[in-house]
Amino acid sequence: MAKPPIYLTTPIYYVNDRPHIGHAYTSLATDVLARFKRLDGHEVFFLTGTDEHGQKVEKAAQDAGEDPQAFTDRVSQAFRDLTITMGFSNDDFIRTTEPRHKAACVALWKVLAERGEIYLGDYEGWYAVRDEAFYGADEIVERDGVKYAPTGAPVEWVREPSYFFRLGKWLPELLRRFDLPEGDAERIDIQPESRRNEVRAFIQQGLKEFGDASPKLDLSVSRTSFKWGVKVPGDEAHVMYVWVDALTNYITAAGYPDTTAQRWKFWPADVHFVGKDIVRFHTIYWPAMLLAAGLPTAKRVFAHGWWTNEGQKISKSLGNVIDPVTLVEEFGLDPVRYFLLREVPFGQDGDFSRKALVNRLNGELADALGNLANRTLSLIQRNCEGRLPGQGDAAVGAPLLDPVHKLTDQVRQRLDRQEFHLALETILASVRDANGYITQEAPWALKKTDLVRMAAVLRALHDALRVYATVLQPFMPTTMAALLDQLGVPPDARDFAALAAPLPEGTHLPPPAPLFRKIELAAA
């Protein structure tokens, strides 16, 4: 039976600045889940890209002395380059300045207008250019005579003609869908639970204050104060609010408005990965617009936390922005990929430290996994003429392999809940058990006393390493490809289904080579 297609997205990244560790982190999580699902037999569509319209981009281009299109072409390329540097396996890279995307935005707007979900009025309220967002009076704080949004962005009072989306009318339906049981096709799942509670409370407060379907809860969805955006069909004095434009990218890439397109089978998205600062847009504005247009909503929105740097908040003014390209150059790609998802529970804030990265690299990758592989494969080279032993007496390998055979399913369960750090801990716990097994069985000593048992022990260790390398491929694709090469696993036998077929006895194994380079703390 064919497994269902999977659609995974990153947010599209705003091009007013260069990529940093936060961008890499969101895309890395998406990439790992996409790679895992492909190995698990699913057809996967993984989307990322750049958000290129809006007042903030227009201003950044002006400050750089560039035309907005030239500016976005240049900065967008930096994000595209990051996908290569970080080894991401995205199937598409969308830009909101592309013709296909503008066409999708216009099509969605027309559907909403035809359904009576958009109307013309005047907007008056507090607006933060930095956030491209409006805020209620109760959210504004004043310091030294300057008013700020909850995010710390300065706000200004704006009054201008605007089209409005009837957001208020859909809020009760959103609350209903948030509370549906797991497995219900209409459920909108927000993770982690703290974010779900935050969004529910925000909606409930608005409904309590203004009542169901109040125009005061409606969303201003156009601007006349700047020009860099998608023109409103039939009224080109207005450009679409950047979030209406940006959020539409997820259906643009799936083929919208052509719902007969090949890619439309992927919609609705299985997981939108986002930072916690944009969770409201993805869990309130976006599903409400989809419902109003008669389209299915995404199944899950997962909002991860923020990184600090050595205990300090990351900011350009402090000069402590973490460049992922520099990290990869210093520590290697796969150790960086591993560390970012190993160190912190996905969904919580975390602190980046070079010492922690070095400790993970040296202790877990080099000492635990790398050393286990090198010891096992070196013993097979020396004691078995470089050929894979037969499986021998199953009872010999059972203490190690019985738990190992459950590992793929355990990792699958963890990743289906986006528990990346727990998936890695599950694998590492098994690697530690394997190190205990090789020490206890001492195959180097068995060579003198029991060649049959020695061969069975080495085969069990090899079989365990094959599972580890296979399930770790999504996290460390290049290094695990090298390990699978050393294990003699053919390129067409590296998915999860292939683990059911043992490698034949006598398979020639190449001489092992170190998988990880240890780093001295003093040098780091």
Contact 71, 61 (CB under 8 A): yes
d(CA 485, CA 191): 38
**pLDDT grade for 18, boundaries at 50, 70 and 90:** confident
- Domains detected in the chain: 6-305 (3.40.50.620), 329-346+353-500 (1.10.730.10)
Q: pTM value?
A: 0.93
Phi, psi of 54 (to 5 degrees): 115, 165
Tokens standing for residue 418: 């986006």
Q: Which residues pair with residue 157 across a beta bridge?
A: 126
The predicted pLDDT at position 137 comes to: 83
Q: Is 490 exposed, middle or buried (0-12, 13-18, 19+ CB in 10 A)?
A: exposed
Contact 154, 199 (CB under 8 A): no
User: What does the pLDDT look like over 496-512, one tens digit per residue?
Assistant: 999 999 999 999 999 99
pLDDT at 158 over 90: no
The β-bridge relationship of strands 44-51 and 13-14 is: parallel
- 3-state DSSP helix/strand/coil percent for the chain, to nearest 5? 50, 15, 35
User: What does the pLDDT look like over 214-250, one tens digit per residue?
Assistant: 889 999 999 998 999 999 999 999 999 999 999 999 9
Weakest-pLDDT range from 86-100, 148-162, 426-440: 148-162
The predicted pLDDT at position 76 comes to: 95
Question: Which among 390, 424, 392, 388 has a CA at the least distance from the CA of 407?
Answer: 424
**355-383 per-residue burial string, b: 16 or more CB within 10 A, e: under 16:** ebbbbbbbebbbebbbbbbbbbbebbeeb
DSSP 255-318: TTT-TTSGGGGGPSPSEEEEEGGGHHIIIIIHHHHHHHTT-PPPSEEEEE--EEETTEE--TTT
**pLDDT grade for 1, boundaries at 50, 70 and 90:** confident
The predicted pLDDT at position 524 comes to: 47
Tokens standing for residue 506: 């006598």
User: What does the pLDDT look like over 55-112, one tens digit per residue?
Assistant: 889 988 999 999 999 999 999 999 999 999 999 999 999 999 999 999 999 999 999 9
pLDDT at 328 over 50: yes
d(CA 259, CA 156): 40
Q: What is the mean pLDDT of residues 289-311?
A: 94
Question: Which among 473, 435, 334 has a CA at the least distance from the CA of 35?
Answer: 473
d(CA 250, CA 233): 20
